[in-house]
Amino acid sequence: MLPFPTDSHPLLHGVRVIEAARILAGPFCGQTLADLGADVIKLERPGKGDDTRSWGPPFLGELSAYFLSCNRNKRSVELDFADPSGQAILHRLLAKSDILIENFRSDSAEKLGLAPEALLAQHPRLIVCSISGYGRTGPLRERAGYDFAIQAQMGLMAITGPVEGSPFKVGVAIADVLTGLYAATAILAALRARERSGHGYAIDLALADCALASQVNVAQAYRTTGTMSPRQGNGHLQIVPYNLFPTADGWLVVNVGNDGQWRTFCAAVGEPEFAARYPTNPDRVQHREAVDSWVASRLRTTTTADWQKRLTNGNIPHAVVRDYATAFADPQAQARGMSLTVRDPAGNPVDLVGSPFHITGAGSPIPTAPPRLGADTTSVLRELLGEGDTPDPIQHDTDPNGK
């Protein structure tokens, strides 16, 4: 067999990204592209930087854990592009870049000439990805968007939480994260299309749209029936048994995904004949309460470890609920590099969550710590623009950034 061809460069080697975005969705998109090898230059307000730099504790030195989570592999440049001189530098940087990720307020962007249409008129090959709460069209286009509010407004909280009681939000800012992933996908598609067309593109992404689109089968169930599905707690709307169950000494997630696994599961718990009572998944969904009650009564009879052994032998999907300590220490997570340690400029260790990308045939960028505010201003301006001076650090009243 011939050896697999390998390019020593990362996939996005030679692609330059200007990240003029803050908080989570835009920076998460930028980090995703950086993990794939793009040169991501993060533009930040002089003296303050990305809001998340101060979102703590916890902190590691001057960097918050929040900022550390979505800004690795980037360079930081302080630039006040509400000032004419800073804006001139911005345009010179864009002229040498492929992608702009921004979450400017649309009214401020238009006032400063930084709306996507104006940017593409001046930089016709640029890919502009605009991220906002509600998008650039519609009656809510000027409203700021925050993940918690988006989860509430777009139905996600209505389907999350216990069957009885108040709705819950997802434990992380999932609308922001998903929007960042949608943004990276659209950007990569636009990069590919630019090879054919020769021109740039404007991408308009809204947290609200991405939150609704990501509810997949549950949202589609409503579109199909016109009926809002009740909250299922830890259960699954369309698969049974697929839930969290108590054991004699803990908790166990059981995911019986098909009828064959159902028969195997019933055999594993010592009652193979029970499978014939509800032989198909539609039967089990229709009789959800009876099936889940039966499963719960059986799992309570012995320990979590015993059930793990039985279900593993039967090749039945299951899992123990873990905390972060056990999740990161797991040999599988260790083998996949999900526990990452890098060094800051002083040589001190910085523990990060690793990148999920594993790509054969291309090199991987050497991971770097999230940057200190403005750490790369001088070097980036010298490298790209032939200048050694830093931009005017004075903050002005007009702030084009915003959620």
Which amino acid belongs to residue 364? S
The helix (run of H) or strand (run of E) holding residue 180 is helix 174-197
Number of neighbouring beta carbons within 10 Å of residue 24: 27
Q: Which two structure tokens, joined as six digits, stand for 201?
A: 């593109």
Angle, in degrees to the nearest 10, between helices 304-313 and 259-268:
130
Catalytic residue among 50, 176, 209, 292: 176
CA 289, CA 278: separation in Å to the nearest integer?
Answer: 12
Query: ∠ CA 305-307-313 to the nearest 5 degrees?
Result: 105
Whether 176 is catalytic: yes
Tell me whether strands 251-255 and 318-319 are parallel, antiparallel or unpaired: antiparallel
CA 43, CA 8: separation in Å to the nearest integer?
Answer: 29
> Residue 157 has what DSSP assignment?
G
Closest CA to 67 of 80, 84, 49: 49
245, 296 Cβ separation under 8 angstroms: yes
Closest CA to 81 of 400, 402, 403: 400
CA 49, CA 78: separation in Å to the nearest integer?
Answer: 7
Residue with tokens 């930040």: 44
86, 392 Cβ separation under 8 angstroms: yes
Q: Which two structure tokens, joined as six digits, stand for 222?
A: 């409503």
Number of H helices, E strands in the chain: 16, 13
CA 168, CA 159: separation in Å to the nearest integer?
Answer: 8
Q: Which two structure tokens, joined as six digits, stand for 387?
A: 């200048």
275, 221 Cβ separation under 8 angstroms: no
The catalytic residues are: 176
